[in-house]
Chain A
Amino acid sequence: MENRILAKNLADLYCKAAERYSALPAFATRKSELDWDPVSFGELYDRGLNLATGLIELGVGARDHVGLFGDNRFEWILADYGVQLCGAADVPRGRDVTDAELIYIINHAEIKIAFLETTVLLGRVLKLKKELPKLKEIVLLDSDFKAGDQYRTIDEIEHIGKNLREKGDRRAEDRIEGIRPGDLFTLIYTSGTTGKPKGVMLTHENMMSQIRGITVELSCTDRVLSILPVWHIFERVFEIFTISCGVCTYYSNVRHLANDLKNVEPTFMGSAPRLWESLYLKIRKNVKQAHPMRQILFHTAYFLSRQYRSSAYFLTGKKLYLEPPSTVKRILLTPFHALRWLLVLPIYGFFNVAVLEPVRMSAGGSLKATISGGGALPVEIDRFFNYIGIPVLEGYGMTETSPVIAVRLEENIIIGTVGPTLQDTEVRITDIETGEIIYPNPALPHQGRGVKGEIRVKGPQVMKGYYRDPEQTKSTIQNGWLRTGDLGMITFNDCIKILGRSKSTIVLLSGENLEPEPIEMRLTQSPFIEHCMVVGQDQKHIGALIVPNIEGFRDDGFKVDSLQELAKDSEAKSIIHDEIKRMISVENGYKRFELIHDFRLIGECFSNGEELTGLLKMKRHVITDKYEKLIDEIYHHETSEES
């Protein structure tokens, strides 16, 4: 059954959702464990129209940029409704935005009106007021506070709009009529390599193509629990998608997650890999603490499920094929897998029911599926959830592609891949050095499947460009093809497998993006550090590989013969530890996730042509491959400490 609403633009979607789902709850906010506040689609739309009218009255023009700084709460969505319904675009960012970013974003996006979530944020912006010449109005989202001299509240503006609409003001409707597919609905600033944030321009058409292309089946009877920051494009598309399906989104947070899972019993959930990892560790811990007999039962169940599913995957062709599948092998192995499937089925059936179901209950019990995005999900966790019967769908994308490029749905779960591309989306794999097309390339065997290269994308979800930055736009989008900066290959069952980054941006498990260069540059300023490479793609924290500067240590009175010896010296290690602590700290303006948690010293200098390019830039993928063991050590050391 096709339940989704397809619309011309976001405002149109909001309007149609209000018509179709009117009295059903659209968003619910937690007051206490068993007391939630629902707001219906109809009410949300009406209030959105009031707010939009109020915004127009305050002077917000069509296609203007309105700031929206804050995290998940109902008023955030209301503000978004208001902005969309008056034909403007919002510029969202979370509470953790730094002062420098605030100044840059507000000035660069020419924001005249900004919504601020909390009084803390309000205080910061008021302090920076002098540096924000264009900012005229500030609107506080937190309705617990009364309006002041220097700011208004969202209630107040809604009220202004309400009065006007009661008198017959229909300017909002005219604005909605006037929205063109190429107009922006949002302008999202992501941190750039040069340190300056880049404004990603996403249009209504971008978003509508996502709603058309994502084929997850949801309906009015589904429930979604939301814990990711709403300004993150992954969560944003998720919430818009749920609106189009008439699904109620329940706002939770990490602290209340365990309880909310139990009370809301979500049927679908999106999250960053970090959540799946913590849920995974929790389940493992519970198993470890259970009675020995229960442990045996769980391990037996897991073992049987693995046997059963791997045979099922084989028989249905859902295995990961990085090499061309051999017909002979397939014919030979089919009877084996068919037999194993048949034999394991009844016993697996029992264990699935008796042992795995209670485990699933700990994740709410009603979850039909979950979707992971915003970073790569570690394969063992991916496997674990699929084997215990909670299908994890994995998405792949980036802010610049609003964000979904490919998604692995329930019908094509191939563990280790991010699934096939969305409809109307084309993907190319190109050579990292030469830029030549590897896939699809008729000259190569199997069109170039199974060969690693940089992923490029062309499709309706690709952004309009970076705001007021034609140069960056040009280098990122060439002839409609967007360079993702990710390394990957096309498998033999036409799915995308991600293999790392060609660009230096590191995406942490939590979904935070960070640029390693500024940190590395800061660290190499130390006399004790020669080279430094920050690592941590898909990890919880960042770590660093460091080549100590032997001269620096000698100047400090250190008697040492070789770099190798120095790298093993524990005193040297503690000196560098202190250096890192001193240089990269919150006090020095670094964000918490930019702090280096662990590092390893390398006793060999990076050499030109091998680890370094002609321009002495680090070849990250070469270094990553070469020191794979050391990097693993940083993170394995960490996990063993935790458990």
Chain B
Amino acid sequence: MEFTSQLLYPLDQVLLAVMIFSIMFGMGSSLTVDDFKTVARYPRGILIGFLSQFGLMPFFAYGLAVFFSLDPAYAISLILIGCLPGGTTSNMFAYFARGSVALSIAMTTASSVMALLMMPFLLEFYTTGFVDEISAELQASGAGIEFVIPTGNIIASLVLVLVPVLLGMFLRHKSPAWAKTAEDTAGFMGIIVIIYLIGTAVIRHTGLFLQTPTEIYVSAICVGLLGFLFGYWMSRLFKLSPIFQRAISLETGIQNGPIAFAIILLSFSEPYQSQMLWLAILYSTFIVISSSFVTLYYRKVGKFDYEVFQNTTIHNRLFGEEYVSKYPEGYLPDRIKNDPSQGSNPGQIRKAAEKAKPV
């Protein structure tokens, strides 16, 4: 599928830039220096999160691109999405999915910094084949130029999007109340711009939705879903507690879309830019929907465990660290009773075990 006209008009591009700026500003507004310190508190969670974010996701993106033999521009865009760090949206979803918000924030922070290093490397690694394909095409058409991944531009774009983040953090430092407002406003603007972009796309390029091959839709939806699924299983394999499993799962699947927009706009030219943007727009749209469903599912599944966890935590908060909550026989299912990491307070279980030991 070829784009006969530009996907985004200049006005849209300006809008998109404003959105990227405000979302990244909003993200910064939600961060404090302490969040960076939190990273140190969850080394295991961060490491597993890192593996799934920069290990699994790019691989899935690549796998999907190869499996569906996507057009090279789409493939590169998909891999780019796969390599992105996490965004603040995932923190909100983690909260509602009864996951660990602290870990989610820590992962967002860590991955945003790590992205400077990992993204150019991963892109280089996974996109080589597709880049060659485009170059071959260009050569065949006699354009006589080579297509390369503009690594320098990508790093520059990454640094550029970090500027509003720093500004946001500065605002947060000065006035937490205003920062909270900025964060919500940014989130709202993000939704409005996405809706606007899709709306205008529907009106201007009505055929686009029909022309877009099914495999593009499937890839855009699946890359997030695979992230959710494997992020969950990976952390489960490493026996992290359910609240961490849910946080890592969501953090892995939900990527920082605005960064993709920024990189595509700043580093790629037509005719590839429109194709790449289109995939990024589709991903951003579907990820909101799918993560809403996944969150609702986690919320339901985690309800009982979370309530036990919370009640036990409050018992310790009010009755002292030594207090041990003893639920009636058979009230706690085996998964919680026998596994300290599954919801009930690990500290309590440990203490109970110590008490049971003969002195």
Which residues of A approach B to under 8 Å, CB–CB?
20-25, 28, 34-38, 219-223, 246, 250, 263-265, 267, 290-291, 293-294, 297, 346-347, 349-351, 353-355, 357-358, 366
Contact = CB atoms under 8 A, between A and B. Distances in A.
Given A20-B328, A220-B328, A28 B319 contact: yes
B187 A354 contact: yes
Interface stretch (B1-9, B62-70, B253-261, B304-312): B304-312
10 contacts: A24-B327, A35-B320, A220-B327, A221-B308, A223-B314, A291-B177, A291-B178, A293-B181, A351-B188, A354-B184
A35 B317 CA distance: 8
Contacts of B184: 294, 297, 354-355
B191 A350 contact: yes
Given A21-B328, A221-B307, A346-B191, A353 B92 contact: yes
Given A28-B318, A263-B318, A297-B185, 10 more contacts: A22-B326, A38-B315, A220-B328, A264-B318, A291-B178, A293-B181, A293-B185, A297-B188, A354-B188, A355-B184
B181 A23 contact: no
A223 B177 contact: no
A297 B326 contact: no
Interface string B175-190: 0011011011101100
A14 to B, nearest CB: 16
Interface string B69-105: 0000000000000000000000010011000000000
Contact of A38 (B180, B288, B311, B323): B323
B338 interface: no
A349 B296 CA distance: 12
B331 interface: yes
A23 B331 contact: no
B267 interface: no
Contacts of B304: 221
Contacts of B191: 346-347, 350
Contacts of B96: 353, 357
Contacts of A366: 310
Q: Which of B183, B288, B323, B328 has the most CB of A within 10 A?
A: B328
Contacts of A350: 187-188, 191
A293 B288 CA distance: 25
B292 interface: yes
A447 B264 CA distance: 69
B325 interface: yes
Contacts of A35: 318, 320
When A and B form their complex, which 3 residue pairs have the shortest distance between CB atoms, in order from nearest? A23-B326, A36-B318, A221-B307
A20 B318 CA distance: 23
A297 B177 CA distance: 13
Contacts of B288: 346
A631 B307 CA distance: 47
Nearest to A354: B184
A220 B178 CA distance: 40
A22 B177 contact: no
Contacts of B314: 223, 263-265
Contacts of B181: 291, 293-294, 297
Contact of B331 (A220, A250, A353): A220
Contact of B319 (A36, A220, A290, A347): A36
Contacts of B325: 24-25
Contact of A34 (B178, B307, B317, B326): B317
A36 B207 CA distance: 66
Nearest to B182: A293
Nearest to A33: B318
Contacts of A34: 317-318
B314 to A, nearest CB: 6
Contacts of B177: 290-291, 294
B258 to A, nearest CB: 16
Nearest to A266: B314
Contacts of B319: 25, 28, 36-38
Given A38-B319, A264-B314, A354-B187, A349 B328 contact: no
B328 A223 contact: no
B4 to A, nearest CB: 31
Contact of B326 (A24, A28, A263, A357): A24
B347 to A, nearest CB: 16
Given A35-B318, A264-B318, A366-B310, A24 B328 contact: yes
Interface in B297-343: 304, 307-308, 310-311, 314-315, 317-320, 323, 325-328, 331
Nearest to B292: A349
A219 B311 CA distance: 11
B96 to A, nearest CB: 6
A514 B326 CA distance: 45
Nearest to B323: A38
Contact of A22 (B315, B323, B328): B328
A28 B292 CA distance: 38
Interface in B220-274: none
A148 to B, nearest CB: 33
Nearest to B191: A350
Contacts of B328: 20-22, 24, 220, 246
Contact of A265 (B95, B310, B331): B310
B19 to A, nearest CB: 15
Nearest to B289: A346
A20 B288 CA distance: 45
Contacts of A346: 191, 288
Interface string B31-74: 00000000000000000000000000000000000000000000
Nearest to B314: A265
Nearest to A31: B318
B349 to A, nearest CB: 15
B202 to A, nearest CB: 15
A20 B331 CA distance: 10
Contact of A221 (B185, B310, B317, B318): B310
A491 B307 CA distance: 37
A572 B326 CA distance: 68
A294 B182 CA distance: 9
Contacts of A351: 188
A574 B307 CA distance: 59
Contacts of B327: 24, 220
Nearest to B96: A353
Contacts of A20: 328
Contacts of A28: 318-319
A354 B180 CA distance: 10
Contacts of A263: 314, 317-318
Nearest to B177: A291
A267 B331 CA distance: 19
Contacts of B310: 221, 265, 366
Contacts of B185: 293, 297
A401 to B, nearest CB: 32
Contact of B315 (A25, A222, A246): A25
A368 to B, nearest CB: 10
